[in-house]
Structure 1
Amino acid sequence: MSAEQINVTTASADRAARAALSAVTEPGDERIALRIRDVGADVTWRAVLGGDDVLDRSRVLQRRAEHVEGAEILERADHAGIRYLCPGEPGWPVPLDDMAATLDYGERVPPPLGLWLYGDGDLVALTESAVAMVGSRACTRYGARVASDLATDLALAGRTVISGAAYGIDAAAHRGALGVGGPTIAVLACGVDVPYPRTHAQLLERIAADGLIVSEVPPGSRPMRAWFLARNRIIAAMSAGTIVVEAALRSGALSTATWTQKLSRETLVVPGPITSALSAGCHTLVRDGAGTLVTSVADVLEAIGRLGEHMPPDPERESRPIDDLLPAHAMVREFMHADAVDTVAGLAASTGLPAHTVAIVLRELAVAGWVTREDGGWRLGSTISPLETRT
Structure 2
Amino acid sequence: MVSGEVSEGERAARAALTRVLEPGDERGGRWLREFGAEGVLALLTSQDCREGALPGVTETRLRGLRARASGVIPARDLDAVRAIGGRFIVPGDAEWPSQLDDLGDARPLGLWLRGRPDLRIWALSSVAVVGARACTPYGSHMAAALGTGLAERGWVVVSGGAYGVDGAAHRGALGAGGATVAVLACGVDVVYPRGHAELIGRIAEQGLVVGELPPGDHPTPSRFILRNRVIAALTRGTVVVEAEYRSGSLVTARSAQQLGRFTMGVPGPVTSGLSAGVHELLRGEGVLVTDAAEVIELVGDMGELAPARRGPVLPRDLLDLRSRRVLEAMPARGAMAVPEVARGAGTTADETLGRLYELHSLGFVERLHEGWRLTPRTIRGSNARRGVT
TM-score (norm 2): 0.76
Q: How many angstroms apart in 1 are the aligned matches of 2:252 and 2:82? A: 31
After the TM superposition, which residues 1-391 of structure 1 pair with which residues of structure 2 at under 5 Å, given as runs?
A: 11-50=7-46, 51=49, 52-54=53-55, 56-57=57-58, 58=60, 59-100=63-104, 103=105, 110-287=106-283, 289-315=284-310
Q: CA deviation at 1:62?
A: 0.6
Seen in structure 2, the aligned counterparts of structure 1 residues 93 and 319 have a Cα distance that, compared at 3 Å, is farther
Q: How many angstroms apart in 2 are the aligned matches of 1:93 and 1:8? A: 16
Residue matched to 1:355: none
Q: How many angstroms apart in 1 are the aligned matches of 2:289 and 2:144? A: 15
Q: CA deviation at 1:303?
A: 1.5
Q: How many angstroms apart in 2 are the aligned matches of 1:113 and 1:94? A: 13
One-letter amino acid of the counterpart of residue 253, structure 2: A
Q: Say which SS state the counterpart of residue 75 (structure 1) adopts.
A: helix
Count of residue correspondences = 331
1:20-63 residue CA offsets vs partner (Å, 9 max, x unmatched): 00011100100111221233211122222234453642221111
Q: How many angstroms apart in 1 are the aligned matches of 2:29 and 2:223? A: 16
Which moves more between the two structures, 174-183 or 7-16? 7-16
Q: CA deviation at 1:176?
A: 0.9
- Indicate if the aligned counterparts of 1:241 and 1:304 stay in contact, CA closer than 8 A: yes
Q: Say which SS state the counterpart of residue 127 (structure 2) adopts.
A: strand
* Coordinate RMSD, CA, aligned: 3.3
Q: How many angstroms apart in 2 are the aligned matches of 1:185 and 1:308? A: 26
One-letter amino acid of the counterpart of residue 115, structure 2: G
Q: CA deviation at 1:89?
A: 0.5
- Indicate if the aligned counterparts of 1:191 and 1:218 stay in contact, CA closer than 8 A: yes
One-letter amino acid of the counterpart of residue 37, structure 1: R
**Deviation above 4 Å: which 4+ runs of structure 1?**
7-10, 330-335, 379-382
1:63-95 residue CA offsets vs partner (Å, 9 max, x unmatched): 111011223322232233220011120111232
- Indicate if the aligned counterparts of 1:183 and 1:211 stay in contact, CA closer than 8 A: yes
The percentage of aligned residue pairs carrying the same residue is 47
One-letter amino acid of the counterpart of residue 47, structure 1: L
Q: Where do 5+ consecutive residues of structure 2 fail to align? A: 328-349, 352-359, 364-377, 382-389
Seen in structure 2, the aligned counterparts of structure 1 residues 97 and 319 have a Cα distance that, compared at 3 Å, is farther
1:204-239 residue CA offsets vs partner (Å, 9 max, x unmatched): 011111100000110111112210011001111111
Q: How many angstroms apart in 2 are the aligned matches of 1:53 and 1:208? A: 38
One-letter amino acid of the counterpart of residue 144, structure 1: S
Q: CA deviation at 1:381?
A: 9.2
Q: Where do 5+ consecutive residues of structure 1 fail to align? A: 1-6, 104-109, 324-329, 338-348, 351-378
- Indicate if the aligned counterparts of 2:190 and 2:216 stay in contact, CA closer than 8 A: yes
One-letter amino acid of the counterpart of residue 108, structure 2: P
Q: Say which SS state the counterpart of residue 27 (structure 1) adopts.
A: coil
Q: CA deviation at 1:290?
A: 2.8
Q: Say which SS state the counterpart of residue 209 (structure 1) adopts.
A: helix
Q: Say which SS state the counterpart of residue 7 (structure 2) adopts.
A: helix
- Indicate if the aligned counterparts of 2:129 and 2:158 stay in contact, CA closer than 8 A: yes
Q: How many angstroms apart in 1 are the aligned matches of 2:85 and 2:306? A: 42
Seen in structure 2, the aligned counterparts of structure 1 residues 169 and 10 have a Cα distance that, compared at 3 Å, is closer
Q: How many angstroms apart in 2 are the aligned matches of 1:332 and 1:142? A: 45
Q: How many angstroms apart in 2 are the aligned matches of 1:280 and 1:129? A: 29
1:320-346 residue CA offsets vs partner (Å, 9 max, x unmatched): 9xx9xxxxxx999999x9xxxxxxxxx
Q: CA deviation at 1:137?
A: 0.6
- Indicate if the aligned counterparts of 2:27 and 2:56 stay in contact, CA closer than 8 A: yes
Q: Say which SS state the counterpart of residue 187 (structure 1) adopts.
A: strand
Q: How many angstroms apart in 2 are the aligned matches of 1:55 and 1:17? A: 21
Seen in structure 2, the aligned counterparts of structure 1 residues 258 and 10 have a Cα distance that, compared at 3 Å, is closer
Q: How many angstroms apart in 1 are the aligned matches of 2:178 and 2:123? A: 13
Q: CA deviation at 1:159?
A: 0.8
Seen in structure 2, the aligned counterparts of structure 1 residues 273 and 13 have a Cα distance that, compared at 3 Å, is same
One-letter amino acid of the counterpart of residue 291, structure 2: S
TM-score (norm 1): 0.76
Q: Say which SS state the counterpart of residue 252 (structure 2) adopts.
A: helix
Residue matched to 1:358: none
